[in-house]
Each structure stands twice: as structure tokens, then as C-alpha cells.
Chains A and B, each alone.
Chain A
Amino acid sequence: QQQVKQSPQSLIVQKGGIPIINCAYENTAFDYFPWYQQFPGKGPALLIAIRPDVSEKKEGRFTISFNKSAKQFSLHIMDSQPGDSATYFCAASRELGKLIFGQGTTLQVKP
């Protein structure tokens, strides 16, 4: 019940495409859903996060869509660029709880 399942494991898109990464969770007590971005040789860094009281959050070209009833959330990257090539992790936690990370998605954006 603590798991967060992320898919796909890897993704290749052309520049300008819209990659979508999906995550699903079981624990309905989770109330914080962040996405972390990791470039090669670096540690993950917070990209964007959402609380379950909203269905969508947008920051620049990055959008989180949240479906509470389906217990799913996804990351969309609009007008993707080669500089977006990285590994993306979804995560979930509940208040006073630890972050549970998904398995990660390696994204490659081709020029």
C-alpha cells in the first residue's frame, strides 16, 4: 500500500513533443505529490508538486494532472526541449510521513 508505480521506464520524444509520465498510488492517505528531476551526475531536485485538492498545476512548460478517484497523477512536458532530457521521479507522502518514490523514467528529447 506504500508503493508508487511509475511508467514508462524510458521515453524518447522529438523536440517539441509532449512526453507524459504516469504514476499510480494505493495509499489514500497520501496528500502531497511532488515530481523530481535528475540530470546525469546530479542529485534529484524538486520540479513541481501538487496537493490533492486541485486537479491540475502548471509551472512553465511542466504540468501535473491529478485524478484523485483513480489514484493517479501524471507529468506533462509541453514543447519539450533537449535540455529536458533527464530522469524524472514521481513521489508521494502523507503529512508527517516520508517520501515514497516511483521507479523513475528516463526521458530523452531528440533535437
Chain B
Amino acid sequence: EAQVTQNPRYLITVTGKKLTVTCSQNMNHEYMSWYRQDPGLGLRQIYYSMNVEVTDKGDVPEGYKVSRKEKRNFPLILESPSPNQTSLYFCASSLATGVLNTAFFGQGTRLTVV
């Protein structure tokens, strides 16, 4: 089954404690991205990757890091989480950008930073 898998689904952590949210896709997609969803703000892109070892900032990259060492995996790293990073996070993948970009989303990770 074609899917994007995120882990964990729920996470409560304390300010400053480094964490990683994993994302894996089995569709051989080149393009992967991370979004955060906040009420009234919609989906905002954090980082994206056009291919292995190619990553770039989205609209709200501050406080986040990513890496793309393998095509299927695109982890999101919060080196020093803060309460304003409490949000619902989604990983997405697509075959390409632009007009072929039907984005397939993971189930989401609800992060709470206290």
C-alpha cells in the first residue's frame, strides 16, 4: 500500500529537549516536505527536499532542521524545542513539484512542548 508513515503520532516533550520526528514514504517520490498546521493559519511549509541531499527552507524554517540521506526518509529535527512549536506536523511526498504535485500526506504528529 502506497503510504507516508510518520512517527510518533503523539509526543509531549519539555522545552529544550532535542527530538526527531521520522517520515518515510514507499512511493519512490523525489519531493518531500514538512508542514505544520495551526488553527486559522492552514498548512505552512517548514522545509522541503527535491531529492537526496537537496533540502531547502520553506516558509517557517526557524527552529527546525531536516536531512535527506535516503530517498524514502525525511526526518524533522527540533534541536531545542520551544512552546511555540506546539503544533500538528505533517510530512508529505509527491512525484515532483508543480503540476504533477499531488501531495500524499502522512497521518500527522501532534507535538506538545511544555
Contact = CB atoms under 8 A, between A and B. Distances in A.
A29 to B, nearest CB: 11
B90 interface: yes
Interface stretch (B60-68, B71-79, B93-101): B93-101
Interface string A38-50: 0001111110010
Among A6, A9, A98, residue most surrounded by chain B Cβ atoms (within 10 Å): A98
B41 A103 contact: yes
Contact of A44 (B43, B48, B58): B43
A70 interface: no
Interface string B81-93: 0000000001010
B99 A43 contact: no
A66 to B, nearest CB: 15
Contacts of A32: 98-99, 101
Interface in A33-79: 34, 36, 41-46, 49, 51
B68 to A, nearest CB: 16
B108 A93 contact: no
Contact of B99 (A95, A101, A102): A95
A36 B92 CA distance: 13
B72 to A, nearest CB: 17
B109 to A, nearest CB: 10
Contacts of A96: 97-98
B4 interface: yes
Nearest to B35: A101
A11 interface: no
Nearest to B105: A43
A93 B42 contact: no
A49 B43 CA distance: 17
Given A6-B42, A95-B98, 7 more contacts: A9-B40, A98-B33, A99-B101, A101-B35, A101-B43, A103-B41, A104-B42
Interface of A: 6, 9, 31-32, 34, 36, 41-46, 49, 51, 89, 93-99, 101-104
Interface of B: 4, 33, 35, 37, 40-45, 48, 58, 90, 92, 97-99, 101-108
